[in-house]
Structure 1
Amino acid sequence: MIAAELLWLTTRGGWSIADAALRLAPGALMLVALRAALTGMEWQWVSLPLLLSFPVHLADLARARRK
């Protein structure tokens, strides 16, 4: 579903691929963490995507602020 949204934003929404990817990546990483938690994986596999989503979110905010 996220890939479909990325495709729609870049083809119909007029967004660049970098803008759309930075906007969607934190949510995708949080979905990966949710899946890891719901399937009973160890805490490291839950926390890793959450930790990675924060710097990507900050990069998205910085990019949006520059525009």
Structure 2
Amino acid sequence: MDALFASGRIVDAILALVAAEALLLAWLARRRGVALPALLANLVSGAALMLALRAALTGAGWPVVAGWMLAGLLAHLTDLGFRFRAGATAHRRTPLQPGTTPQSAAFSASTLENL
């Protein structure tokens, strides 16, 4: 195990699993109509952090580690942008209806926010 960590090969194995996950998610997204860019931005964020870890384990200089961490931050911000845009769009499509119905609770998180 020491050799796997010292050489960074453990990260390579994890990145191979992330790549397999990306392929599986791309296939599922195509079949189910899920937005693929948001999924990929999330995976790229994690992969960049794994590459920063690999660089640190193998003794790369701080600019290399910081560069991978910056790449992870940018991918994470992209992922958040997709999520906020999707959430804002979904919220606009379903405005809150006043009052209660047999299908809704008298007090829910969304009704308490409007108080």
Q: How high is the TM-score relative to the length of structure 2?
A: 0.53
Query: 1:19 Cα deviation (Å)?
Result: 2.2
Instruction: Write the deviation string for residues 26-51 of structure 1: whole angstroms up to 9, x where unpaired.
Output: 11000000000000111111110001
Q: Which has the larger radius of gyration?
A: 2
Kindly provide the amino acid, as one letter, of the partner of residue 55 in structure 1: L
Larger fraction in helix:
1
Structure 1 residue runs of 4+, over 3 Å off?
13-17
Q: Distance in 1 between matches of 2:85 and 2:35?
A: 15
Q: How many residues align?
A: 67
CA RMSD of aligned residues (A): 1.4
Structure 1 equivalent of residue 21 of structure 2:
5
1:35 is aligned to 2:51:
no
**Structure 2 counterpart of 1:54, from 73, 76, 79:** 73
Q: How high is the TM-score relative to the length of structure 1?
A: 0.86
Kindly provide the amino acid, as one letter, of the partner of residue 24 in structure 1: L
Kindly provide the amino acid, as one letter, of the partner of residue 9 in structure 1: L
CA contact under 8 A between 1:10 and 1:16: conserved in structure 2? no
Runs (5+) with no aligned partner, structure 2: 1-16, 87-115
Kindly provide the amino acid, as one letter, of the partner of residue 21 in structure 2: E
